[in-house]
Structure 1
Amino acid sequence: MSSSNKVVDVAVGLIVKNGQALLAKRALHQHQGGRFEFPGGKVEAGELVTTALTRELHEELGIDIHDPQLVQRLTYTYPEKTVCLHVYRIESFIGEPIGREGQPLTWVDLDALFELNFPDANRPIVRAAQLPTRYSITSDLYEPREAAIAPWLAEIAIEKETDAWVYVRLPSVSSELYAMAVQRLSMLRPDLNLIAVWDAPEALNEIIVGRHLTQAALLAKKHLERRSEREFWFAACHDEASVAHAQKLGVDAIVVGAVLSTPTHPNGDVLGWDGFAKLAGLSDIPVYALGGMQPSNIDEVQALGGFGVAGVRFV
C-alpha cells in the first residue's frame, strides 16, 4: 500500500470537565500545524483502541482516565493519508492535565468550540461534543387544536429538565399548529434545545437547533441540507439499512428502537438488548436507545455501544 493510501487509526479523547473541553494546539511543523486538536494519538499495531487512548493521554497529559465512552468513529481522507478517529468522551480522570510534550493546553466552553480552527477531521467531534446523553421527546397534543397547546406547554414546563434537548413530536397536528406550538414552547422555555420534525416550516429555523428524520424520510433523502455547522440532524433507525444510510447521509446521531416494550405499546415489536447492540455495533455515530428507557439505563446502553437514551417521560 502506498503512503498516500495508508490508514492511520487514532484514539481521541474528548475530555470534558465543568462544561468545557480540553484542547491542545498542534506544533507548526506538524500536519495541519497551528490548529487546535483533541488530545490523543496513534494506535499501535495489535493494540486495543482503549489501551492506546489510556497510554497516549498519560504520556501527553499526565492523567489516568476512567470509563471512556465511545462517541463516534470518523474516517477522513487527506491528500497525504486516511485517518480513522476513534473518539471517546472522558469525564473521569485522575491528575491535572499538563502538556508533557510542550504542547499548549486550554479548556474551552463546549459551545465555543465552533469558533476555533481544527483539523478537518475534527469538525464532526465539535458537534458530537454538544450532544446530551438524554434525548427527550414530547407527547402529542391531546387533540389537534390550538386550545390543546396550553395544557401541553404546562406539562412540558414541569417535566423537561433545564437545557434539555427536546424533539417536538406532534404527529396529529397540521404544519401551522405545529409551528405555533414550537414557537410558544420556545417563549416559555428558552433554555430548551428544540429539535423539530424534518419538514417543519423554515420559519422555525431561528428557534430550533436541529431536525429529526423519520426512518421513511431518512431513506428517501439523498442529500442533507445543513444550514450551518451548528444545525444538528437526528434520524430514527430500526434496521441495518437505515443505520447504513444515516451514516452515508451524514446525520449527527441516530435513535434506535424500540428496545423494550412500553406501557403505551405493550405488544409492539421490540429489538431487545441484543438487537440494539447489533445495530449500535454497525454505527460509527452516536446511537440513542428508544423504548422503555430511563436515565438509569444509560450505563447499560453505553456498555452495548450506544451513547444515550431517548424517551417521552424520564423519571
Structure 2
Amino acid sequence: MPTQTARLDPRAIAAELVNWYAQHARDYPWRRTRDAYAILVSEVMLQQTQITTVLDRGFYARWMEKFPDFKTLAAAKEEEVLKAWEGLGYYRRARNLQKLAREVMERHGGVFPCEPAAILALPGVGPYTAGAVASFAFGLAEPIVDGNIARVLSRLHDDATPVDSTAGAKVLWERSRALVEATDDPRALNSALMELGQTHCSPTKPACDLCPVRAYCRAKEPEALPVKQMRQEITPVTERVIFLRTAEGVLLEQETGKRRTGLWKLPALPAEHEDAPPKVLVRAQYGITRYKVTLWVHEPHKQAGQWPETHRFIATEELESTPMPAPYRKVLQQLLTGGEFRLSA
C-alpha cells in the first residue's frame, strides 16, 4: 500500500513520470513516429480494443501497408476499408476514419491540422483522440484521459468521485491538464501516464512498490479505485439466421443498421418462422458491448424465391474478400468446411 510522503506537486510528479518513461517505455510502432496519420490510426484502433489484439494479430501493420496515408484511405472503396478492419469490431470507427481522411484531403489540402480545435472538429474525433494526436504528433501540451489514466489519477489523489460522472470527468481532465502543462515533454508525459496504468497501476494487484510516483500517491486502498457509478448489465440476445448454399454461391445479407452497415452476414430467419424454426445447423455465442449473443444458424426456410434487395448470392471464392463481422466469418467457415472454428486474419 502506497504511503504519501510528498505533496502533490504537478511539476515534480510530471518529472518523475517522464524520467521513468525514458527508461521503461515499451516499443510500439506508433511511438517510433511523429506522423499524425500513423498515430491517429493507432488511437482509433485502440478504442475498445486491446494492444495485443491490434499488434499480435497484425491489424495495425496490415492497415498501414494497405492504407499508408490519408490519400490512399480517402480514395479507397468502403468495402475495402471494412474488410481491412474486419475482426476489430465497432466498424463505425473505420467509417469515421475514412470520412476524416476525405475531409483532410478536401478541406486541409492533405495536411493534418496541428491546432487542437481543428483536430477536434474532424469527424469522429473526441477530446481524448484530439489530445492524443496533438501531444504525440505535435508535442502540444494537451491533456488525455482514458481508462488507464483515470485509474492512475483517481488513486494518486485518493478520489472516490465516480470517474463516469460529470464531476468526476471534469476533475480528471483538470488534473491531466495540470500535469501535461507542468512538463516540457507532453508527448512523454501522456505516454507515461498511459504506460503506468497499463503496467504497475493495474486494476487488480497494483505493483505500488515499483510505481515511479509512489511517494506522491494518497491511495489508501488502491484496488477500490477508480469508482464507477454503475456497471452495465450484460443483456442476452438471440439471433437466428439461415445458411443457404447453391451453385451461385452462399446467400448473404448486407447489413443496414448503424453498427455494421455495409458488412455482409448470414440472412436473418424471417419472423414468421421463429415460432417453429427449421433444423439448427450451428449454435455459437459472441459478445459485443453489453450484449451476449447466441447465434442460431438454421437450414433455409425455402430453396428458391424472391429475396430482398439486401440479399445476394456470393461465390465461394469471393467470400474471403467480402467484409463480414468476425463471428459470422467463423460460423461460415465451419459450415463450409465442417471443421473447427478458425478466424481468418
Larger of the two Rg values belongs to structure: 2
Greater strand share, 1 or 2? Answer: 1
> Structure with the greater relative contact order (CA < 8 A, sep ≥ 6): 1 or 2?
2
